[in-house]
């Protein structure tokens, strides 16, 4: 038992037994991996520092395990806001053209050139802010017994700081995921901009595939090529000025268009990997998306059920009021395409501050605080692609 503890034992016998099994000199036998493999453990075999009770006092070498994390869904975060609580967004609804009265004149009558024709303005408002903070304690000299010198102590502090930043970064990612998930669920609840890929494919080709048989060798190639063309067409149609793929407010119908460079396209990574691996690579040369913000999504809400969401959405109704819909439990989500103004996360009043030094306890605290606002605008274009 020379590993997973602090004793020294001869390992020749273990190594010889394993070698003989590997080479066929001896039949295979049960190997106790605890005798051979060093496994990370939270159990400490020496005394610990008196403050945190988690770091051993006597160490020969210290590995500082830290790796910076970068939040996904980067295209969802928008510029910061400092002043004002309510954000408003103004849009202009189209109005009909009028006849040219210069070609319809009547003797003895004048033409009124001062008739009022007011712009039909739609104002939507965004409310609410969510406050977050994170802090950690820095000890001046209570941890001296745990490290060999100031350089190693500095590395430990750097690890603590990086862990804090990683947690903040992942929190931002989680918020972005839920912002996208609410948009998807709201679109499904409103039945607006939902692409039922398998249904459309079966109708177009006379097939009868479902979410299982589509993966069969004889089916997947043709469906993948069709889906490639469908996504390309969907992206192209969004560049047209129309009222498709958006909630219309009664009496203030807005026509919008989304250039490719203003599109945010998130595609379910496992499905796209199947397409890339099983179909010729040149089929999926996404040139039509080269100017868009495209990101592969490993999971929409939970890493345990990656192609699914389970959300009770809040979304905008045609009468201009918000409603909380029934819970949407939806799987087989292939992707979502939306205008950059359709949803986002705004970070406000972000700051880092350090408390004064606590002379009695010989430590200080560092606080990270920020306000997040995550929003959806269903009057902007957006479409959800489902494998059903």
Quote the pLDDT of residue 329.
Answer: 92
CA dihedral sign, ordered 225, 227, 230, 232: negative
DSSP bridge pairs for 345: 77, 374
Question: What are the distances in angstroms from CA 28 to CA 17, 19, 33?
Answer: 9, 10, 14
Please give the Cα distance from 28 to 342 (Å, whole number).
61
Quote the pLDDT of residue 38.
Answer: 46
Top pLDDT among 76 and 220 is at 220
Q: What mean pLDDT do residues 200-208 have?
A: 95
Quote the pLDDT of residue 385.
Answer: 97
DSSP bridge pairs for 198: none
Domain boundaries, the chain: 1-43, 85-124, 127-386
CA dihedral sign, ordered 206, 308, 339, 287: negative
Q: Is the pLDDT assigned to residue 62 strictly greater than 70?
A: no
Most confidently predicted of 120-129, 173-182, 331-340, 370-379: 331-340
DSSP helix/strand/coil, 154: helix
Please give the Cα distance from 140 to 154 (Å, whole number).
11
Quote the pLDDT of residue 201.
Answer: 96
Residues 325-383 pLDDT 10s = 888 999 999 999 999 888 888 887 788 888 898 999 888 888 888 777 788 888 899 99
Q: For residue 41, what are its two tokens? A: 């453990």
Please give the Cα distance from 315 to 193 (Å, whole number).
14
Q: What band does 2 get if pLDDT is binned at 50, 70 and 90?
A: very low
| Sequence-separated (6 or more) residues with CB below 8 Å from residue 303 | none
Lowest model confidence (mean pLDDT) among 41-45, 88-92, 131-135, 259-263: 41-45
Top pLDDT among 256 and 37 is at 256
Give the angle 201-280-292 at the CA atoms, nearest 5°: 70
Quote the pLDDT of residue 12.
Answer: 59
Contact 113, 357 (CB under 8 A): no
Q: Is the pLDDT assigned to residue 1 strictly greater than 50?
A: no
Pairing of strands 333-339, 263-268: antiparallel
Quote the pLDDT of residue 297.
Answer: 92
pTM of structure: 0.77
Q: What band does 319 get if pLDDT is binned at 50, 70 and 90?
A: confident
Please give the Cα distance from 316 to 322 (Å, whole number).
5
Per DSSP, helices labelled H in the chain are 12-23, 150-190, 197-205, 217-237, 269-278
Q: For residue 162, what are its two tokens? A: 């990086």
Lowest model confidence (mean pLDDT) among 64-73, 90-99, 128-137, 352-361: 64-73
Residue labelled with tokens 């202009």: 92
DSSP bridge pairs for 252: 249
Lowest model confidence (mean pLDDT) among 42-56, 230-244, 249-263, 339-353: 42-56
Q: How many CB atoms lie within 10 A of CB 338?
A: 31
Lowest model confidence (mean pLDDT) among 90-99, 284-293, 327-336: 284-293
Task: Provide the percentage of residues in the chain whose pLDDT is more than 90.
Answer: 25
SS (H, E, C) 31-58: CCHHHCCCCCCCCCCCCECCCCCCCECC
**Total residues found in the chain within this entry:** 388
Residues 24-57 pLDDT 10s = 676 655 555 445 444 444 444 555 556 556 555 5
Q: Is the pLDDT assigned to residue 232 strictly greater than 70?
A: yes
Most confidently predicted of 16-25, 222-231, 286-295: 222-231
Quote the pLDDT of residue 284.
Answer: 54
Q: Is the pLDDT assigned to residue 283 strictly greater than 90?
A: no
Give, as one character, the DSSP assignment of residue 358. Answer: B
């Amino acid at each position: 038992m020379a590993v997973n503890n602090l004793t020294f034992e001869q390992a020749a016998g273990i190594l010889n037994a394993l070698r003989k099994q590997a080479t066929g000199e001896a039949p295979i036998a049960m190997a106790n991996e605890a005798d051979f493999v060093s496994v990370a453990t939270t159990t400490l075999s020496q005394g610990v520092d008196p403050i945190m009770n988690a770091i051993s006092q006597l160490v020969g070498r210290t590995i500082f395990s830290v790796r910076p994390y970068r939040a996904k869904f980067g295209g969802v975060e928008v510029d910061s806001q400092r002043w004002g609580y309510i954000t408003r967004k103004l849009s202009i609804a189209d109005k009909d053209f009028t006849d040219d009265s210069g070609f319809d004149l009547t003797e003895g009558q004048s033409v009124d050139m001062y008739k009022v024709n007011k712009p039909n303005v739609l104002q939507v408002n965004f409310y609410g802010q969510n406050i977050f903070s994170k802090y950690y304690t820095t000890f001046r000299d209570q941890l001296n017994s745990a490290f060999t010198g100031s350089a190693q102590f500095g590395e430990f502090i750097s690890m603590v700081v990086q862990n804090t930043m990683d947690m903040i970064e992942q929190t931002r990612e989680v918020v972005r995921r839920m912002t996208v998930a609410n948009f998807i669920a709201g679109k499904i609840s409103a039945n607006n901009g939902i692409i039922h890929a398998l249904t459309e494919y079966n109708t177009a080709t006379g097939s009868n595939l479902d979410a299982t048989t589509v993966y069969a060798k004889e089916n997947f190639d043709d469906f993948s090529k069709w889906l490639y063309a469908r996504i390309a067409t969907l992206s192209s149609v969004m560049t047209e000025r129309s009222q498709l793929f958006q909630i219309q407010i009664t009496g203030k119908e807005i026509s919008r268009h989304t250039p490719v460079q203003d599109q945010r396209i998130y595609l379910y990574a496992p499905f796209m990997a199947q397409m890339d691996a099983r179909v010729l690579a040149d089929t999926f040369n996404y040139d039509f998306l080269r100017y868009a913000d495209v990101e592969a999504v490993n999971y929409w809400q939970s890493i345990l059920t990656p192609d699914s969401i389970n959300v009770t959405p809040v979304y905008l109704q045609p009468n201009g009021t918000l409603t909380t819909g029934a819970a949407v439990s939806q799987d087989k989500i292939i992707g979502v395409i939306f205008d950059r103004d359709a949803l986002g996360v705004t970070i406000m009043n972000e700051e880092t501050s350090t408390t004064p030094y606590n002379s009695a306890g010989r430590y200080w605290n560092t606080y990270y605080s920020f306000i997040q606002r995550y929003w959806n605008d269903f009057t902007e274009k957006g479409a959800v692609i489902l494998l059903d």
